[in-house]
Structure 1
Amino acid sequence: MAYKSILIDQITACYNDKSWFIPLEEILRDLTSKEAAYKSDEKQSIWSIVNHLIFWNERWLERFETENIIMSSTINNDETFYLDPNCINEHEWKKTLIRLENIFSRWIEALEKCEESKLTKVIPDYYGAAWWGVVSNLSIHNAYHIGQIMLLKKQMKDN
């Protein structure tokens, strides 16, 4: 089985390849910083969810590249959604979008360069999971939040 091509397909579907759902890049393309930071009844804004996706994709890419899977118990997942209210402006939103694009591009590059055997390697001390499963679940995590972002955008535009 060619895990590499499947994982690359999953990551590109999440970011910029329209297939079963609208990819993240397309959803975010026309949003202003004010719209991205907008909250109605929701706990998070689109921007805060994007920050969360950047955090976990960067964290797992670092682990993938270094094969250092030390799990820190000090990570408070709620903090990964943080958005500094003093930094809501077009410049900062653009920087966030560049970081997002960069992390998805870096994932594709890392997967293209890796040997297929790395993807079947079991990660010690991580539930007996192989890399292909972890990266696939990361894509599922991305898709889940992309759905949230799409709904938030629709709610915002409908109001």
Structure 2
Amino acid sequence: MNLSKQLSNRLEEVLLDGKWVAGTNIKEQISDLTWKQATTKIDSLNTISDLLFHINYYTEGLIHYFETGKLEIKDKFSFDAPKIESEKDWKDLIKKFQIDTQKLIEKVKGFTNEKLDQTFFDDKYGTYYRNINVIIEHSYYHFGQIVLIKKLLKKTVN
């Protein structure tokens, strides 16, 4: 199996359809939440809607870079999520996450091993492979937070 297939499978596994590593995925964990649950703040933790926006911010940024060669995302804006004020807003965010994730997966599937070994934007960022792998690790990190916050929500919010 080539590297792009492995990476795209791992992206799909954590974000949309996998069950191998964690027994679930982000899409499954957020699908049964209401907008009120997704926007409920527990102590100093981020809300689930903020985390979903944050994960997708980097997905969108990678897609944009792959399509234009311009890296325009900035960490300081990665939690600047629009306010979720209705079930429609929440469903729209989920839909955007799913569409963008599928688009990223398809782009990664099309990369050759040579492409994955190329420098990503600047030498300091390493290769395409490294950056895609970082997105996977970053997604798992926040996925864990989503699962824990969801468990806390069930204890505190009906």
Q: Same fold (TM over 0.5)?
A: yes
Whether contact under 8 Å (1:122, 1:128) holds in the other structure is yes
Q: Which sections of structure 1, spanning at least 5 residues, go unmatched?
A: none
Shift of 1:23: 0.4
SS of the equivalent of 1:88 reads coil
CA–CA separation in structure 2 for the residues paired with 1:54 and 1:128: 19
Shift of 1:152: 0.4
Shift of 1:128: 5.6
| RMSD of aligned alpha carbons | 1.9
Shift of 1:17: 0.9
Q: Residue in 2 aligned with 1:25?
A: 27
Q: Residue in 2 aligned with 1:96?
A: 93
SS of the equivalent of 1:127 reads helix
Matched, 1:142 2:139: yes
- Residues 79-104 of structure 1: CA deviation (Å, up to 9, x unaligned): 4223444x421010010000000111
Q: 1:62 to 1:31 in 2, by over 3 A?
A: same
CA–CA separation in structure 2 for the residues paired with 1:95 and 1:50: 12
Q: Residue in 2 aligned with 1:10?
A: 10
- Residues 52-102 of structure 1: CA deviation (Å, up to 9, x unaligned): 111111012211233334x66xx353x4223444x4210100100000001
1:80 maps to amino acid? S
CA–CA separation in structure 2 for the residues paired with 1:3 and 1:49: 28
Whether contact under 8 Å (1:122, 1:130) holds in the other structure is yes
CA–CA separation in structure 2 for the residues paired with 1:47 and 1:124: 29
Q: Residue in 2 aligned with 1:43?
A: 45
Shift of 1:2: 2.0
TM-score (norm 2): 0.88
SS of the equivalent of 2:107 reads helix
Q: 1:137 to 1:32 in 2, by over 3 A?
A: same
CA–CA separation in structure 2 for the residues paired with 1:60 and 1:98: 18
SS of the equivalent of 1:81 reads coil
1:47 maps to amino acid? S
Give me the identity figure in percent: 23
Q: 1:123 to 1:43 in 2, by over 3 A?
A: same
User: Which residue of the other structure, out of 54, 57, 60, is the alignment partner of 2:56?
Assistant: 54
Equivalenced residues, count? 154
